[in-house]
Structure 1
Amino acid sequence: MNEVINKYIHLFETLNRGYNKRLGKAPHKPILLLSIIQLIQRKEIVSNRIFITPELLLEFKNVWNAMVDTPHTPNFALPFFHMRSESFWHLVTKTGMELIVTKSKSIKSFKNLKESIAFAEIDKRLFELLSDSATRTILEQVIVQKYFKNTASNYSIILSNVNNVVLKIESQMLNEPKADYQNHLKELRASLDDDEYEEEIFIRGGLFKKTIPKIYNHSCCISGMRIESSQNAQMIDACHIIPFSISNDDTIPNGISLSPNLHRAFDRGLITINQDYIVRISPTVTENETVFSLSQFNGNQIILPKKASWYPSPESLQWHNKEVFAL
């Protein structure tokens, strides 16, 4: 076992890092590794496959803010892509997709990374080491002491920092009027470059997907379906009533919780909810009578959240009735 640990200690201490005369060596790879370690510790990463998730991106930004004391730019796509030069990291592209790189053979953008990469795989043996608290601590401290001696004391506050960021964004989604939330996004759009804004929207979208099911008690608001699992598998979707691409609205009244089949039916206009929160089935639907039929929900009132301020927005529902529902 010591031989295996020593192997990864050596690999972690000799990461291939970019160099800039003004800024020095890039901190991106060690920050990404610390972010992954944090999520493994919290069991948000449960296999050696590392997916590009809002949780990982948010953790990357959080660890960066705590540990980096140089004026480098916290570009997430760079280390996720360039870590492929390390022997323990293997990129897997999506089927039929090709990586688009710049002339300098770097990743083009965060958007390109998401569109092209299915996931990265770390060595299974490395994942086993990082899943064990004792060996994880050893490898974690190797990174902190090697690359962040000046800020090592900050590492203990990382979890509280990320929780504060999540609570702040959730509070905006839960409590802000639509116009105020949209103004926040306009301000972010004006102050961030394209990649930074894309990352911000990705994080907020991820929190929307978690918050909506939570306020509906992880139940489908139409069928009442509720499934819990120790595997942390979410079976209820957060559905925008007006798509975010049109509304720029991640506030709770623009969302409802639906099972995957009803989410698809809602997005395709086969089912809608009127301003009295009554379910309507499109007259274009023809189906046989089964326990899965849409028609069984026609005329039912949906399950509503505890707070009236979180009820689906009548304005958003009216938009869906007029623009999406198939008559």
Structure 2
Amino acid sequence: MQEENRIIGYYIHAFANLRRDSKKGGAPHKPVLLLAIINEYELGRIKDNRIFITPELTHSFSVLWNQLVTTEHDQRFALPFYHLSGEKGNWWRLVPNIGCEIWLENPGSMRSFGNLSAAVAYAEIDPNLTSLFLNKESREVLKQMVLKTYFPQKSIQSTENQKDDYLDDLKNEVFEPSVEYKTKLLNLKKRLDPETYQIEVYNRGAIFRREVIKIYDETCCVSGLRVSALFTITMVDACHIIPFAKDFDNSLTNGIALCPNLHRAFDRGLISVNDSYEVILSPSFKENAQSEYSFSKIEGKTIALPNDKDFWPSLANFEWHRKNVFKK
């Protein structure tokens, strides 16, 4: 018990003395992010010491910001997610995506949500803090302390029973026709500031990946590889047939589930799919045909399709891929 009291005392002190810009009454970004993270633990959407950038977390941050912040600060998720790594005690550590390690050495580049989400795989917090967040009583103590310290005149409602349509709406959008989906995104781009738009695009991309992997039962549609995991980690990718940057299309019929090596081959035009849903192989490269994993072994193979025909990948999109990406 003495050790538990020491640990919670340490984090009460740490959370009450966050390093913040003092302008405009003190930057609220770090306290709001901590409250959003506590909320995600409370709802059971974070279960260990890894804090991924998810639609749920970015939305919790936005909701709490609108409830609590009355100063003229800009709502920026990237700032606190990056700068918590500078807090004393090293209890928040950023884990970069492979090849992005040097990005994290340049704080200026991490002001953008797009750069943050591209560079950072997740944040890893101290196991002792994780235990506090997973415990209802200690979690509530930390929540109330953050509120009292940084937002003394404010309170937040328990989110457990709140009705929030945002995430449901995002899920529903991927089931819409691609034309409607693209129109919505273009309208968002017109009316939102660049930072918020980046978050909205990121959130929709994350939902697209989850739903594509789900309708393919977490299975590569070519190789049959299947590895079940938490929604934040999977060995199967959701692959856009027409790249998102080209057509702003996150509808399910523009996606297939592929293991990473086949995803890369598809994106680079080494393989494609014909009108009979069969894999075709580009003649423009050479490989070791004796290898057990040779691409020649999948040539002519019919891809596995979702059970619901409405979610079958668009043949028109595959035709676009063959004309514009596939190496002939």
Aligned counterparts of 2:302 and 2:160: Cα–Cα separation in 1 = 45
2:135 maps to amino acid: D
Alignment deviations for residues 262-295 of structure 1 (CA, whole Å, 9 cap, x no partner) = 1122112121111231221223354324542322
Over 3 Å counting, the alpha-carbon distance change for 1:199 and 1:230 in structure 2 is: closer
Instruction: Decide which of 147, 154, 157 is 2:157's aligned counterpart.
Output: 154
Over 3 Å counting, the alpha-carbon distance change for 1:295 and 1:197 in structure 2 is: same
1:136 maps to amino acid: R
Instruction: Name 2:137's counterpart in structure 1.
Output: 134
TM-score normalised by the chain length of structure 2: 0.84
Instruction: Decide which of 81, 96, 99 is 2:102's aligned counterpart.
Output: 96
Instruction: Name 2:311's counterpart in structure 1.
Output: 310
Alignment deviations for residues 291-320 of structure 1 (CA, whole Å, 9 cap, x no partner) = 423223222222212333221112210011
Task: Find out whether 1:15 has 2:21 as its counterpart.
Answer: no
Aligned counterparts of 1:193 and 1:250: Cα–Cα separation in 2 = 21
1:97 maps to amino acid: W
Instruction: Name 2:57's counterpart in structure 1.
Output: 56
2:257 maps to amino acid: S
Over 3 Å counting, the alpha-carbon distance change for 1:96 and 1:70 in structure 2 is: closer
Residue 32 of structure 1 deviates from its aligned partner by 0.7
Alignment deviations for residues 132-170 of structure 1 (CA, whole Å, 9 cap, x no partner) = 333223222322444445552423358743xx3221011
Instruction: Name 2:302's counterpart in structure 1.
Output: 301
Task: Identify the range of structure 1 (137-146 vs 66-75) with the bigger mean alpha-carbon deviation.
Answer: 66-75
Over 3 Å counting, the alpha-carbon distance change for 1:205 and 1:225 in structure 2 is: same
Equivalence map 1:1-327=2 (5 Å): 1-21=4-24, 24-41=25-42, 44-45=45-46, 47-68=48-69, 72-88=73-89, 89-90=91-92, 92=94, 94-97=100-103, 99-100=105-106, 108-115=111-118, 119-148=122-151, 151-157=154-160, 160-161=163-164, 164-175=165-176, 177-229=177-229, 233-284=233-284, 285-327=286-328
Residue 51 of structure 1 deviates from its aligned partner by 4.4
1:87 maps to amino acid: K
1:228 maps to amino acid: S
Over 3 Å counting, the alpha-carbon distance change for 1:201 and 1:64 in structure 2 is: same
Over 3 Å counting, the alpha-carbon distance change for 1:231 and 1:218 in structure 2 is: closer
Q: Is the 8 A contact 1:63 1:158 kept in 2?
A: no
2:313 maps to amino acid: P
Aligned counterparts of 1:159 and 1:236: Cα–Cα separation in 2 = 33
5+ long unaligned stretches in structure 1: none
Alignment deviations for residues 154-192 of structure 1 (CA, whole Å, 9 cap, x no partner) = 23358743xx322101111112x2121111111111111
In structure 2, the residue corresponding to 1:155 is in which secondary structure?
coil
2:102 maps to amino acid: G
Residue 41 of structure 1 deviates from its aligned partner by 4.6
In structure 1, the residue corresponding to 2:155 is in which secondary structure?
helix
Aligned counterparts of 2:42 and 2:234: Cα–Cα separation in 1 = 20
2:125 maps to amino acid: I
1:13 maps to amino acid: A
Runs of 4 or more consecutive aligned structure 1 residues displaced over 6 Å after TM superposition? none
Task: Identify the range of structure 1 (214-223 vs 10-19) with the bigger mean alpha-carbon deviation.
Answer: 10-19
Residue 246 of structure 1 deviates from its aligned partner by 1.1
Task: Identify the range of structure 1 (265-274 vs 121-130) with the bigger mean alpha-carbon deviation.
Answer: 121-130
2:245 maps to amino acid: S
In structure 2, the residue corresponding to 1:228 is in which secondary structure?
coil
Figure out how many residues of one structure are paired with residues of the other and give that number: 319
In structure 2, the residue corresponding to 1:174 is in which secondary structure?
coil
Q: Is the 8 A contact 1:208 1:250 kept in 2?
A: yes
Aligned counterparts of 2:326 and 2:295: Cα–Cα separation in 1 = 14
5+ long unaligned stretches in structure 2: none
TM-score normalised by the chain length of structure 1: 0.84
Q: Is the 8 A contact 2:55 2:167 kept in 1?
A: no
Over 3 Å counting, the alpha-carbon distance change for 1:108 and 1:156 in structure 2 is: closer
2:16 maps to amino acid: E
